[in-house]
Amino acid sequence: MTSAKQRRHQGVLEILRETGKATVNELGMRLGVTEMTIRRDLEMLENDGVLQRFHGGAKLAFGSSYEPPFPVREKINADRKRLIGERVASLIDDGDAIILDGGSTGLAVAEVLVDREVTVCPLSLRVAWAFARSSTVNLIMPGGSVRPAELSLSGADTIDYLRGHHFDAYVMTASGISLQHGFTEWNADDAAVKKAAVGVADRVVAAVDSSKMNRVGFVKICGIDVPAAIVTDAEMSAEDLNHLRNQAEDVIVAG
């Protein structure tokens, strides 16, 4: 269940996306709360680096030309990501041992898995932290170096660790998915880890939101037909879905 506060935060971001900026008073009016509440919201969102406050109101923190940093991606399209997370989690059985990728989509999956009885090996410190206070999840960490910003685990140690173990499933995310080039990743270190993960898991479940479609990263992870299931959101175009379904094992639209 999403709390009133979370919905309101999404509302603030939505309004800012429409108009670029907004006053505290305006936000309070449109969302039906007092200015003080809006101020507290803005303070939190600014701490997350999602927006920038100015005297009287706030504006979005990033320009449209750069890819927004993690805290921002995490908040944007939170609803769609949550749906993907729930759908992916439904493909995991209690008792399974899984590898769980990092990124905002991986985190969405983690949030659903927190109350499940599963063994999780996260490929990101951020995802690991999401399980920290879970009493049901058996958390195991792969070794390796932590890449700043994304907090993903990579390097020879990570790959060695994966090769030394076996998992029921690998919940994979990627920078891009394309019919021609399959699943791809911008960061070469992360891609190497993902390739190793594909190799040590019985089955692969890909979780990619529609914004990744037809984007191609630098390094190929695996082909379209490798995952037993590809879970995406309802914004995926009908055309793309058809093409995917021709080549992939199973394509699931969450929501």
Partner DNA sequence: TCATTCGAACAGAAATAATGTTTGAATTGA
Partner DNA sequence: TCAATTCAAACATTATTTCTGTTCGAATGA
Residues that bind DNA (CB under 7 A): 1, 3-5, 8, 23-25, 32-37, 39-40, 43, 53-57
CB of 238 to DNA, least distance (A): 37
Rounded distance between C-alpha atoms, residue 67 and residue 103, angstroms:
13
Which one, 25 or 247, has the nearer CB to DNA? Answer: 25
Strands 119-122 and 176-178, by their bridges, are unpaired
Site for a second copy in 41-100 (CB under 8 A): 44, 47
| Residue 61 and residue 52 in contact, taking contact as beta carbons nearer than 8 Å | yes
Q: How many Cα neighbours within 13 Å face the side chain of 79?
A: 13
- Tell which one of 141, 216, 226, 241 touches a second copy (CB under 8 A): 141
Which one, 51 or 222, has the nearer CB to a second copy? Answer: 51
Rounded distance between C-alpha atoms, residue 139 and residue 161, angstroms:
14
Minimal CA–CA distance to 184: which of 135, 239, 223? Answer: 223
Site for a second copy in 109-128 (CB under 8 A): 125-126, 128
What track of x and - describes contact with a second copy for positions 11 through 50 (by CB under 8 A)?
A: ---------------------------------x--x---
Angle at 77 between CA 73 and CA 79, to 5 degrees: 130
Rounded distance between C-alpha atoms, residue 110 and residue 147, angstroms:
19
Site for a second copy in 143-172 (CB under 8 A): 143-146, 148, 151, 153, 157, 161, 164
> In the complex, which residues of this chain contact a second copy (CB under 8 A)?
44, 47, 125-126, 128-129, 131-132, 135, 138-146, 148, 151, 153, 157, 161, 164
